[in-house]
A and B are shown apart, each in its own frame.
Chain A
Amino acid sequence: MPLTEQTDKSPQTRQSERKQSFQTVSLEEVDRLYDRSDVGDIDFDRDISTPGDFPYTRGIHATGYRGKLWTMRQFAGFGTPEETNERFKYLMKEGQTGLSVAYDLPALMGYDADSLLSEGEVGKCGVAVSSLADMEALFDGIPLEMVTVSQTINAPASVFLAMYLVVAEKQRADWKKISGTLQNDILKEYIAQKEWIYPIRSAMKLVIDTFEFCTEHVPRYNPISVSGYHIREAGATALQELAFTLRDGIEYVDWGMRAGLDLERFVPRISFFFNAHNDFFEEIAKYRAARRIWARTMRERFGSSDERTMKLRFHTQTAGVSLTVQQPLNNIVRVAIQALAGVLGGTQSLHTDAYDEALALPTDRAALIALRTQQIIAEETGVANTVDPLGGSYFVEALTNKMEQGALDYFERIDAMGGMVEAVEKGFPQREIQESAYQYQKSLERGDQTIVGVNKFEMKDELQEIPILVIDESVRHQQVERLERVRSERDGGAVSRTLDVLRLAAQRGENTMPATIDAVREYATLGEICSALRDVYGVYEEPAI
C-alpha cells in the first residue's frame, strides 16, 4: 500500500502502524500522540477550571460522585401496565434508584389501544397506556413523592404529565414535592425519531405550556429532557449529536423567553440526555464539552448570571444502535465500556442497555445484568472515587476543545437560518444526519470500521441461543377491555365538556395544561385528548428530504 504524505508531527513514519489512518466511530481523524502542543490554546482557569465551578468542564458538583452516585435509572416498559409495574418493583428491589417508563408506539403517537392504527403495536415497544386507569395500574404501590420517574414521551407529553400529576394527586402526594422528568423534546422528533403529531410550531407551544405550568405548580419537576440520544441513534456523529442537542436547548430557552417566562426560573429545570456510543474518549469529550458550551451559552448568549441556569445536568443511555444480534452476549461488554464513558463524563443518571435489546425488549435476566453492570462500575472499579479523573489529559482536553469548536460552528449555521425550528423546516439537521448514517454504513462495509461478530470474528453457528421476551396480541385484548370498561363507567358528559374547554384553550393560545388535567381527571383517553388538539392544530406532514 502506498504511503500518504506524512502529516503526523512525530518524526517516525507511519510504516510501523497498523493502518494508514485512525478514526473514531464518528469518522474523525485521531493523531498518534497528543501532547502539550495540542492544548496550547487552553487557559486552565478559563476553560477547565475546577469541578463545581464555571464553566463546569470538570463537572457540576465539587464532590463529583463522592457526594452522590449517579441515579441508576433503567428504561423499562412492555406489555400491560401490570406487567411493567412488576418489572419496576423488581428493578427497585435489586437496587435501582429511579424509574424510567418506556411507552408503546400507540402511546407515543397519541392513539388508544383500540385504534385501527394500533393493531400489532400494543405493548410491543413499551407499556400500553391509553387512559388514567392504565397509569394508575402502572404506578400502583409506587409512591411518587418518594421515587423520581422519567417518562419517555414527546408528542403527547402534556397529556402524560397530566396523567402523572393526577395519579400523584390520588396518592395524596404534594405536587410541590414530586420530582421526575418528562422527555417532552419535540424538536428531536422532527429531527430524528419522528414520533410527531402536530405541526412543529403548535407542538413547541405545548412544550412551553408545560414549562410554564411546572414552574408554577411542580417546581422540582424537569419538564424537558433535551435529547441527543435519538439524534445519535439515527446516525449522527458525536459532534452532530452534541451540536443539535444544545442548539435545541437554546431554541427552547428562546421560545420560553418569548412566551414571557422568567429565564432564571425555568432554565434550571431543563435537563439533557446523551448517548454513550463505542468510541470511549470521543464520548467523554462530548459530555465535558456539553457542560462548557451550555455554561458559556447561558452566560454570554442569554446574559444569565444565575449559576443554576449554567449547570448542564444530563442522563446517559448506552447506544442501542451498537448492540448486535450476532453473538449477543458480547453486548454486555459493549454496554459496560459505554457506561464507563458516561460515568467518566460525569453523567447525573444512567441507563445501561440489556444484551438482548437488538432482538427484543429485555427479559428479567438481561435487565438485571444491565443494572449489575452499573453497580459494578460504581462499587468495584474505583472510578467514582475522584472527580473527573481524565481532566488534564492532553487527548481528552484537545478533543473537548475540538467538540466545542465544532458545535459553535453548527450554531452559527443554524442561527443564520433563523433558529432550530427554521433549520428543521428546511430539513438541515435531518440531511446532515442522513448523510452521516450513510457514510458510516459505507465505512463499515469497506471494513474501515469493525463490529466484532458482524464484519470481523463472525461465527457461522452462534454459541448460545438466548431466550427473548415475546409480547403477543393478548396484551391488546386486555387493554381494549379495560378501555371499554373506562368508557362505560365514566361521566360521558363531563368528558365532552372538558374536551371542549381544551379545544377552546388551544384555539385561544392559552395554556393547555389546566384543561388537559381536567380532561384526564374525567378519564378522557389519550386518543380523545390528542384528537381534540388535532382538531385545532392539524397534523404534521414531513417534507421530502
Chain B
Amino acid sequence: MNQTSRKIRVLVAKPGLDGHDRGAKVIARALRDAGMEVIYTGLRQTPEMIAAAALQEDVDAVGVSILSGAHNTLCPRIVSLLREEGLNDTLVVLGGIVPKEDIPKLKEQGVAEVFLPGTSTQDIADFIRNNVKPRD
C-alpha cells in the first residue's frame, strides 16, 4: 500500500439484543491504531441497518461481534443483505463466542473468517489488511 492510497474502511457492527460491547470497542480502537478508518454502528443493529450502513459508509470490511449464540441466525442474513445491496467484495468477519462446529457453515455462507476469544487484535488487523479487495 503506498502513501496516497485510501485507508481501509471497516464497519464494526454489533447486531442482536446483546449489549456486551467490550470486544467491539477494543477492536474498533485497535483497527484505528492500525491505520484503518473505523465506523462503529452502536448496539442492537438489525442486519438491514448494518447492510445499509456498510453501503452508505462505503466500507471495505464489516466486522461483526456476537457473543449471544445468535450468529447462525444473524450472520448469513447480514452477508446476503450486503450482496443484495451489490456489495459483493465487502469482506465479512465475525468475532465472538462461536462453537467450532458452526464455523465451516458460516464460512460457506460467506463469512471470511471467525475470530475466537484469545485472538490478538494484531492478527485481526493483519487478516483484514491482507484480505480486503484492493481499490484505487
Interface stretch, picked from B15-23, B53-61, B86-94, B127-135, is B15-23
* B5 CB-CB contact with A under 8 Å: no
Given contacts A325-B117, A437-B26, whether A194 and B97 have CB atoms under 8 Å apart is no
Q: Tell me which residues across on chain B come within 8 A of A196, comparing CB atoms.
A: 19
Given contacts A235-B22, A445-B122, whether A121 and B117 have CB atoms under 8 Å apart is no
Q: Tally chain A residues at the interface, Cβ within 8 Å.
A: 40
Within the complex, which residue of A193, A235, A326, A544 is in contact with B118, where a contact is CB–CB below 8 Å?
A: A326
Q: What are 12 A-B contacts defined by CB distance under 8 Å?
A: A106-B17, A118-B17, A120-B16, A120-B69, A120-B72, A125-B18, A196-B19, A235-B26, A438-B29, A441-B30, A445-B120, A542-B43
In the complex, which range does the number of interface residues on chain B fall in? 20 to 34
Report the bound CA distance from A346 to B73 in whole Å. Answer: 43
**Do B69 and A360 touch across chains, with their CB atoms under 8 A apart?**
yes
Given contacts A118-B17, A125-B68, A445-B121, whether A437 and B43 have CB atoms under 8 Å apart is no
* A412 CB-CB contact with B under 8 Å: no
Q: Tell me which residues across on chain A come within 8 A of B25, comparing CB atoms.
A: 434, 437-438
Nearest opposing residue in chain A for B75, CB measure? A120
Identify 7 new A-B residue pairs, CB closer than 8 A, beyond the known A125-B69, A234-B20: A105-B16, A193-B19, A194-B43, A325-B116, A325-B118, A454-B118, A542-B42
**Do A438 and B117 touch across chains, with their CB atoms under 8 A apart?**
no
Smallest Cβ distance from B80 to chain A, in angstroms? 15
**Do B97 and A359 touch across chains, with their CB atoms under 8 A apart?**
yes
Query: Which positions 43-96 of chain B face chain A at CB distance < 8 Å?
Result: 43-44, 46, 68-70, 72-74
Q: Tell me which residues across on chain A come within 8 A of B118, comparing CB atoms.
A: 324-326, 451, 454-455
Query: Which positions 162-192 of chain A face chain B at CB distance < 8 Å?
Result: 189
**Do B73 and A358 touch across chains, with their CB atoms under 8 A apart?**
no
Q: Tell me which residues across on chain A come within 8 A of B22, comparing CB atoms.
A: 233-235, 321, 437
| Top 10 A-B pairs, shortest CB-CB distance | A194-B19, A120-B73, A120-B70, A105-B17, A124-B69, A454-B118, A195-B19, A325-B117, A109-B17, A234-B22
Nearest opposing residue in chain A for B70, CB measure? A120
Report the bound CA distance from A108 to B18 in whole Å. Answer: 9
Smallest Cβ distance from A487 to chain B, in angstroms? 22
* A221 CB-CB contact with B under 8 Å: no
**Do A121 and B30 touch across chains, with their CB atoms under 8 A apart?**
no
Report the bound CA distance from A193 to B99 in whole Å. Answer: 23
Report the bound CA distance from A468 to B98 in whole Å. Answer: 11
Report the bound CA distance from A434 to B27 in whole Å. Answer: 11
Report the bound CA distance from A359 to B44 in whole Å. Answer: 22
